[in-house]
Amino acid sequence: MRRTRSRTSAGATAVTALAALLAVPASGGTARAAQPEQLTIDLSTDTGAFHGGASGSLYGVYGDGVPSRNVLEGMHVRTVSTKAQDGPQHPGADALEMLPPFVDSGGKDVYVYMTDIYRGFPYQWPGSDGPARLADFKEKIRKQVEQVRTLDSAYKDHVVYVPFNEPEGNMFGTGDWSYDKVSWLKDPGAYFAAWKDVYRLIKGLDPDARIAGPNTSVLYDQVKGFLQYAKANDVVPDVMTWHELSSPAAVRTNVARYRQMEKDVGVGPLPVNVNEYGHNFHLSVPGQVVQWISAIEDSKIDADLAYWNIDGNLNDSAVEANKGNGQWWLFNAYGQMSGHTVEVTAPHPNQQYTLQGVATLDQDKKQSRAIFGGKSGDADVVFRNIDPKLFGGAVHATVQEIPWTGQVGDSAQPLRLADQELTVGADGTVTLPMTGMNEMSAYQVILSPGGHGTVPAEPSVSWRGTYEAENATYTGGGYSKNGPEGTPSNVGGFATSGTYNVGGLRTGSDGVLGFDVEVPQDGTYDLSVFANSYNLYDLVKEQGPTNVFLRVDGADPQELRLPLGYKWVVWGHTDTTVRLTAGRHRITLAAKDPDLGVTRGDAIIDKVDLSLRDARATAPALYEAEYATLSGTRPVYTRAGASGPGTVPLGRGAAATFWVHSPTDAEATVYVDHLGGGRASLSLNGEKLDVPEVGGDRKGTDRIRMFLSGGINKITVTGTSRALVLDRLRVARTGDTPSTRVYQAEDGRLSGAARVTDAYPFATGGKAVTGVGDGRANALTVDVVADRGGRHAVTIRYSNAEQAPATHYNPDPIARHADLSVNGGPAHRVLFPTTFHFNNFWELTVPLTLRKGTNRLTFTAEELPDFNGDTYNQYDQRSPYAPVIDRVAVTPLAQKQPS
């Protein structure tokens, strides 16, 4: 696999221009010498209330914690399509287990694929003939509805039943597992009768039930006949569903075509959920997905990202349990839009792989937001008809980039490219010249009223460069140039920077991949190696993460462990720092090093990114209150002394929520900048913190030391008295954390079959504990010490590579669990997503209440039965085991620092 031998000429390409630097814009009528493409946003044209429907997911939620509630809520996931409870289609993603955390995290509807109660695809429904198979299915449908009816209405009202999935090629297609081997597209009689029977069965059991269909793989012309039959028999679905494994252009076209069908038949208009969209080439790539978002938002429908890979990661949006990649941050930006959408005219309307976007205007917030992307190079973003009553004679423009970071690569918050006060032209126009855009990135512009003396914030990066592996110099044996990977003509392939990558760094190799770089000044540089190892490939299975060796100009060796993935060409990144002097250097990645050892495994390399780690990069991350998610308040733009364009008054109960990134599970210092006027409380990830309230009578800054989970953190500031004028949050890594206590798992007490193992050398000290679970008798107990009572962050370093046999193209990793109890109290179930290998360790933080002094943490596990408690999964899809546990660290969750 991926071993075609070829050579490429030496060389490197550096992308050194900082994208989207703003020049002072001209008013609308002024032309420049070489007119670039324009994306025009007309703020005077209301195209409907903002819907937010593109943020749906098929099989994206495994269970409570995979992904975390932070990741769910911060992505603003609106709909999820998932399997029937206890269905054997895939491990996890059981409808009634993921329903509560999804709804509690702001989700709207869960579409239950009732057919996924069966194994295989096509569905393996038992029976000697079609009527017998249908009878079996109806009994399973009855049980599913009865299970849902046992739920509290706060949850069951969010269920939508999907009785059939792609029936034209499946249960009512032509295959061996079909009803009668006759496709309903040619003879619909059997399918229509089954639809009527099943519809009436569900409504008979629950008259308030919502039912979706026909859920075809394409919007066939025959769907019109389905609507005619459904109307005639009073079985019209409550939601119309189909799949769009096509293009954004097809979304707009087909929604319009369907709406005409409705008019012709005399039904609706019905809500629409296109519950599969996108391909591997698109997913994880902000510049690709924003084009789908634009079409879906224009159509005012719901839509779910397609499920091509593993479940529980929101369709290649979530990383580990609590992190997000670039696609996650795109949906975070999309979900924070509000008000109504406005007309966006693209340079190539409704044409995929070109510059496309969506924009909103919120008149109450006096704010316009636009997200766009899909083009490399330069373009102008033109805002027209800027209302002076809302914005005044100047606007404050914040421009951000949301880069691609790979399918399994964590992403920090969007890069701040520019922050500027701009005069509105006499014709009500502002033009933002975007230069050096990357087609894999998406971009966001936020416009607010300007002209209040605000000092613009600096860009968050001063210099950066990208160097493609296929342009690097390779010496030694085993070289392969792989690709092209995913392209517009190969949408099933994975996106890859430059479309090519390089192999050769593997067990037994003497290969060296050399990148020639040139940097502008002396300093420390952040370096990211975009790489992949397929976790089930023979050479990779031996050790897990593939190790390679980095040197700069032949010196300063470092050993790097490269990311694992669930398939080849699934990209993540390994990050480090290097010291460079101004000028040219050669950075090498080698399969052996005279001082450090040799590579074990097999890796492919996509590119390396460099960025200057200067004061801009190391400054605290800025989160402006006026850009936060607000409840019970709106921004004010006339306060002198504010850092950004405005502030947010927080009266009692009003709140501002910030989505804050942390690269690791670690303490951070959160600076709350305010202008006085009242007080407010703080909460972290949904928990109110036990710290003094922030604020006061005068302008000031409160410093809170709090433990942030690696990835996405939800920080909410809620007014408690009078009206605190909140300016912003600044978040900085604390560095040393003397309050953290670390306990090695092998030093704990083991019972039953739990044992210490040295089989995983990447565990701390080479030892970890395995065999916890398969019954409560096989347990690990760790005694930890808290200096004071209260909430603590308990960080568990673990590994998990259990995987169930699959019947399809989806890898089926299993999220193991641990039942964790404190001091003999009730156990709390914690899910641990796959780490792709038992020798690959990640961290997961759980907030727990500890008493002052010694506390006993006990880890156990046992297999969960099915929903009714009377059967167990027969395909090894519910593990009875806890993950391999390496160590446990304990840190106070928060503490106030002196101002």
Task: Reply yes or no on whether the pLDDT at 9 is more than 90.
Answer: no
For residue 149, the tally of other CB atoms under 10 A from its CB is 13
Task: Reply yes or no on whether the pLDDT at 351 is more than 50.
Answer: yes
Task: Reply yes or no on whether the pLDDT at 32 is more than 60.
Answer: no
> What does the block give as tokens for 543?
């050790």
pLDDT above 70 covers a percentage of the chain that reads 96
In tens, the pLDDT along 586-610 reads 999 999 999 999 999 999 999 999 9
What average pLDDT score do residues 38-44 get?
98
Task: Give Rg (Cα) of the chain.
Answer: 28
The pLDDT confidence band at residue 736, using thresholds 50, 70 and 90, is low
Position 25 scores a pLDDT of: 37
In tens, the pLDDT along 121-160 reads 999 999 999 999 999 999 999 999 999 999 999 999 999 9
Task: Reply yes or no on whether the pLDDT at 177 is more than 70.
Answer: yes
**Sign of torsion, CA 721 725 730 735?**
negative
- Which candidate, 473, 535, 527, places its Cα nearest to that of 502? 473
> What does the block give as tokens for 625?
């209150």
Maximum alpha-carbon separation in the chain: 79
Task: Reply yes or no on whether the pLDDT at 7 is more than 70.
Answer: no
The pLDDT confidence band at residue 807, using thresholds 50, 70 and 90, is confident
What average pLDDT score do residues 849-855 get?
97
In tens, the pLDDT along 73-131 reads 999 999 999 999 999 999 999 999 999 999 999 999 999 999 999 999 999 999 999 99
Helix axes 286-299, 248-265, angle to 10 degrees: 20
Task: Reply yes or no on whether the pLDDT at 16 is more than 60.
Answer: no
- Exposure letters 598-608 (e unless 16+ CB within 10 A, then b): ebbbbbbbbbb
Task: Reply yes or no on whether the pLDDT at 23 is more than 70.
Answer: no
Position 203 scores a pLDDT of: 98
- Which candidate, 185, 189, 158, 161, places its Cα nearest to that of 173? 185
Task: Reply yes or no on whether the pLDDT at 896 is more than 80.
Answer: no
> What does the block give as tokens for 577?
């720092």
Q: Which amino acid is at 144?
A: Q
**Gap between the Cα atoms of 243 and 246, Å rounded:** 9
Task: Reply yes or no on whether the pLDDT at 52 is more than 80.
Answer: yes
- Which candidate, 15, 19, 17, places its Cα nearest to that of 372? 19
| Long-range interactions of 694-702: CB distance < 8 A, separation 24+ | 694/724, 695/724, 699/641, 699/674, 699/675, 700/674, 700/676, 700/899, 701/671, 701/672, 701/673, 701/674, 701/899, 702/671, 702/672, 702/674, 702/896, 702/899
- Which candidate, 84, 94, 165, places its Cα nearest to that of 117? 84
Position 587 scores a pLDDT of: 98
Position 103 scores a pLDDT of: 98
Q: Are the CB atoms for 834 and 804 separated by under 8 Å?
A: no
Task: Reply yes or no on whether the pLDDT at 226 is more than 80.
Answer: yes
In tens, the pLDDT along 483-524 reads 999 999 999 999 999 999 999 999 999 999 999 999 999 999
Position 737 scores a pLDDT of: 67
Q: Are the CB atoms for 381 and 398 separated by under 8 Å?
A: no
Q: Is the peptide bond before 214 cis (omega within 30 degrees of 0)?
A: yes
Task: Reply yes or no on whether the pLDDT at 713 is more than 50.
Answer: yes
Q: What SS3 class is residue 561?
A: strand
What average pLDDT score do residues 633-650 get?
92
Task: Reply yes or no on whether the pLDDT at 27 is more than 80.
Answer: no
Task: Reply yes or no on whether the pLDDT at 24 is more than 50.
Answer: no
Q: Which residues, in sequence order, are bridge partners of residue 696?
A: 678
Q: What SS3 class is residue 871?
A: coil
Task: Reply yes or no on whether the pLDDT at 709 is more than 80.
Answer: yes
Mean predicted lDDT score pLDDT of the chain: 94
> What does the block give as tokens for 243?
């799949």
- Nearby residues of 371 by Cβ (< 8 Å), 6 or more positions away: 290, 293, 330, 333, 334, 337, 357, 358, 359, 442, 443, 444
Task: Reply yes or no on whether the pLDDT at 722 is more than 60.
Answer: yes
Task: Reply yes or no on whether the pLDDT at 21 is more than 80.
Answer: no
Pairing of strands 749-750, 666-674: unpaired
The pLDDT confidence band at residue 415, using thresholds 50, 70 and 90, is very high
What average pLDDT score do residues 367-387 get?
98
Task: Reply yes or no on whether the pLDDT at 266 is more than 70.
Answer: yes
- Nearby residues of 594 by Cβ (< 8 Å), 6 or more positions away: none
